[in-house]
Amino acid sequence: MKKILLFLLGFMAAVLASAQGDRAFVLATAGEVDAAVADRVRSKIEEMSGATVRLAPPVPLQPGQSLEAIGRAAAQTLGENDQGIIVLAWPDSEQPQGVCLPDVRFGALNMARLSAGVDAAQLERRASQEGLRVLSMLVGMSPCPFPLCVLTGFEKTEDLDRMSGNYCPPCLERFTRLAVAAGIRMVPPPAPDASAEVVPPPAAEAAPESQPAPAAAEPEAVNAVPAAEPAASPVPSE
Ligand SMILES: [Zn+2]
């Protein structure tokens, strides 16, 4: 039992220590999206997911190109060490809010739709939330039933503003496992104020050992192959 407890305490650290993969997610713009905005969204997604996200050159936008076509074109620029691409697109025609095709390894977000009625900072938050949703789908995750999770279902664009900006703890753990299994290079968590979660409380030593360990210890799940969900869209159209 003590062994399991130690395993639980050290789980995240062990996952991070072993996360020496050299794959990464990619983020690029298409159309009139500011590069500085894209890099801030990239940075936020990387911080919240713990997975490496690199900024790629803008994807050329063709006149009248659909969001899906933009995403497919972006996916063709992926290298062998790229897991998938998030495209922050500003299409020149009416397009859905987002299109994600995990099998084709892209998620394209419609920044024009996401910008409706909000300022630049809020647009970046919405794009980061949608980016985290795309990332989860690119490793084969499903929506989360927990309302305080960025992977929960929603209906309207404005709903994003009331939603969490990050994965709930079980989703983060699952994402980390799947990303590591896929060979993604993980980045260390930046927040020093998160140290409270890293240091086990002194009382843990005296804790009774009669409690069965929760199901969090599923080391075999590291080998799980991400099941792609074809034609899943990260967001509903209004
Ligand atoms: Zn969740």
Q: At what angle do helices 169-181 and 35-49 cross, to 10 degrees?
A: 100
User: For residue 135, how many other CB atoms are within 10 A of its CB?
Assistant: 29
Q: What is the pLDDT of residues 52-101, one digit of tens each?
A: 999 999 999 999 999 999 999 999 999 999 999 999 999 999 999 999 99
- pLDDT reported for residue 21: 87
C-alpha 173 – ligand 1 centre gap (Å): 10
Global pTM value: 0.74
Cβ(77)–Cβ(56) under 8 Å?
yes
- The rounded Å distance from CA 143 to ligand 1 centre is 7
Query: Which DSSP string do the residues of 133-145 spell out, in sequence order?
Result: HHHHHHTT----S
Radius of gyration of the chain (CA): 19
- 129 Cα–ligand 1 center, Å: 13
Q: What is the pLDDT of residue 14?
A: 54
DSSP character string of 4-62: HHHHHHTHHHHHHHT-B--BEEEEEEEES--HHHHHHHHHHHHHHH-B-EEE-PPPPPP
**139 CA to centre of ligand 1 in angstroms:** 14
Partners of 84 in the β-ladder: 25
Q: What is the CA(91)–ligand 1 centre distance, in A?
A: 30
CA of 96 to the centre of ligand 1 (A): 24
CA distance 53 to 83: 10
Question: How much is the pLDDT for 161?
Answer: 96
Between the CA of 153 and the centroid of ligand 1 the distance, in Å, is 10
Q: Cα–Cα distance between 124 and 161 in angstroms, integer?
A: 11
Quick check: 209 and 1 in contact, CB under 8 A?
Answer: yes
What pLDDT, on a 0 to 100 scale, did the predictor assign at position 205?
A: 47
Q: Measured in angstroms, how far is the CA atom of residue 73 from the centroid of ligand 1?
A: 30
**The domain defined by 2-178 carries CATH number 3.40.390.10:** yes
What spatial distance separates the first Cα and last Cα of the chain, rounded to whole Å?
51
pLDDT of residue 220: 40
Taking CA atoms, 84 is separated from 54, 69, 172, 219, in Å, by: 11, 15, 18, 25
Side-chain-side CA neighbours of 187 within 13 Å: the count stands at 17
- The rounded Å distance from CA 164 to ligand 1 centre is 10
Report the separation in Å between the CA atom of 175 and the middle of ligand 1, taken as the mean of its atom positions.
10
Q: Which residues of the chain fall short of a pLDDT of 70?
A: 1-19, 190-238
Distance 3 CA to ligand 1 centre (A): 27
